[in-house]
Amino acid sequence: MLLLFFGILGMGLSTELQVLRADQRIDSLAQLVREQDAADAELRRLRLAIGDATRAVERGEAVDPERLQALRDDAGRFASGDALSAVAAMPESPAAVRDGIARTRAGARAFGMQATALLDAAERDGASVKAGMPAFLDALKTLESSRTATRQSLVEALQQATAQSLWLGRRGVISTAFAALVALLFTIGLAVWLRRRVMVPIVHFAGSLRRLSAGQQIDQVAGVDRQDELGMLARGLVTMGRAMEERRRVEAQVEFLAHHDPLTGLANRLLFEERLARTLAGGAPCALLAIDLDGFKGVNDTLGHAAGDAVLRRMAAVLIAASSSADTVARMGGDEFAIIHPLPGGAIDAAALVDRIFALAAGETAEPSARFSIGVALAPLHATQGDELYSCADIALYRAKADGRNRARLYDGGMDEERRQRRWMAHELRDALNRGQMHVVFQPIANCATGAIVGYEALARWTHPALGAVSPAVFVPVAEENGLMGEIGDWILEEALAVASGWPATQGIAVNLSPEQLRDPALAARLLGLARAYRIAAHRIEVEVTEGVVIDEREVVVANLRALQSAGVGVVMDDFGTGCSSLSSLQQFGFNKIKIDRSFVANMRDDRASRSIVRATIGLGRSLDMLVVAEGVETEEQMRMLRAEGCAQVQGYLVGAPAKLTGAVAVTAAG
């Protein structure tokens, strides 16, 4: 038994010695690989640096001699430093490795000599560079070829050494297990040791490899802290797993970015179109919602693109919250969104989705605020093809915007014709000024108590050769939608001041300013310049704005209005009481005058609520030291009620209808 023990011991020692030598061979080869990697990196750097310098010389550019000398020194060091290492010279190193490194060393010397010669030629003149370049490139090619061959030899030798190490380990296990059959106690102890130190890690490695092959992630590999070959394998598995996980992460990110909007994370147009086509091909009913943000351009123009991006992200969150997991929510570009919504319950499901969107958007309190206009089209009712369905939804969206925004409209066939008519009207409106079709009329504003005319409001009128007189309620929204109100508003402003220049100094002139004008930073300077040109005192001019403009376009608008007020121009809040934030606007911006909307004046006699609103508005204006003007006064009874409430000024057909004025103006009014 003692002899068996010593025999087993000797066999084990022999096996361990062989494994140790195999490990040393693996370490030696790994050291050679690292040396080769470092030399390759130095060769790439030197090659690029020499290429940059010689190209500069060929272009006739001056190259610092010190730079050329430094490159020569680097080439010399590279040629002398790429020698056969002590590890490679060992007898047990594979002959192919030793030969490959010897060839690499010779190639490095030749490359160093050619590089030095090329740099010498570059220092002499540019023409010599071209003559010396082929030899340099041949030396470089030879060196790179020898390095490639050497690397292949190293890899093969490393694979063979690793395979030999594993084979030796397995042979040792088998031999020891066989011997342990004879000595039971020794075998049991040795088996336990082998299981814990060798077999368990190998089984774990095999399982990890299977998971990696299946594309699964490996969370932990046993034995990474070991300093033997199994530790090396464990660390190799960890490195491989991390590399594969990073690759999967990058691939997933690329896939996501190819089909999603990077700002909001929503589906992009490509993914939207794919899902829409798939949904329609399946034949199931669905709704397509085309969605635009109202007032988004103003946010970008006044607060910058960072604020606009924040609004887009908030509104995208609203759409996601309102939708279900079966819906596809996409950003089509800019402030345009779209939703594909399956309709298992019919069109009522689409209406419920729209209601949820508006409810969540209304609950948004963050500034700047934004609201939605929505167009809805249904498949297969309105269309069965993706392009046609989206076009129907877009037409419905256009109707929603035309009807006042912040609302939804369901597509119907009549919208196509209406849209064509509005486009035609926009086309005609663009040339209306040049053709002399537009003119300005003036509606008087009177002192409520005395009836004396205190000023006039300038209003635009359009007379089309085919349509006749076109109502402002028709052409103003068309002008706003097509960006024409800036030009029309500036024309009205100059026409009004030109006419008012002939009026008595007691008569004022009121002009409406559009949002497009107010967003122009040069508006205040332009208006005051016209006042000086027509010799009209600034205090005779009033500008009327709606509260929504001040709320949504705050920065530039407020700057313009402050500048006008500082010069003496009066600022009037038009249509007071019809918005949602009138009191807040009055508190934050000091208006000079408030105009009560005509809808409240018209219902004063029969509607107690309207009468209370008029009374409260007049009292509010008095407490804030603001004049109050009542619009739409058409009857003597309305005039008497307004006088009884203490209204300062009135405007309407009872006082006078809008008319052209060219000379002297009246000073009294009816009533």
Q: Among all residues, which ones are annotated catalytic? A: 335
Strands (E), 465-592: 468-470, 508-512, 541-546, 570-576
Residue labelled with tokens 């001040």: 550
Residues 330 and 267: beta-carbon distance below 8 Å:
yes
Closest CA to 429 of 473, 470, 490: 470
Neighbouring C-alpha atoms within 13 Å toward the C-beta of 285:
12
Structure tokens at 426: 């926009």
Closest CA to 268 of 342, 354, 328, 343: 328
CA 112, 114, 120, 125 torsion: positive or negative? negative
Helix (H) or strand (E) holding 37, with range, is: helix 2-58
Structure tokens at 292: 């635009």
Query: What is the rounded distance in angstroms from the CA atom of residue 411 to the CA atom of residue 413?
Result: 7
Structure tokens at 172: 């040792």
Q: How many whole angstroms from its chain centre is CA 37?
A: 41
Closest CA to 458 of 506, 512, 412: 512
DSSP string, 326-360: T-EEEEEETTEEEEEEE-TT-HHHHHHHHHHHHHH
**What is residue 450's three-state secondary structure?**
coil
DSSP string, 200-229: HHHHHHHHHHHHHHTTPPP---TTTT--SH
Query: What is the rounded distance in angstroms from the CA atom of residue 613 to the CA atom of residue 582?
Result: 13
The one-character DSSP state at 524 is H
Please state whether beta strands 286-294 and 336-342 pair in parallel, antiparallel, or not at all (unpaired): antiparallel
Q: Phi first, then psi: give them for residue 452, nearest 5 degrees.
A: -70, 140
For residue 577, which amino acid is it? G
Residues 380 and 361: beta-carbon distance below 8 Å:
no
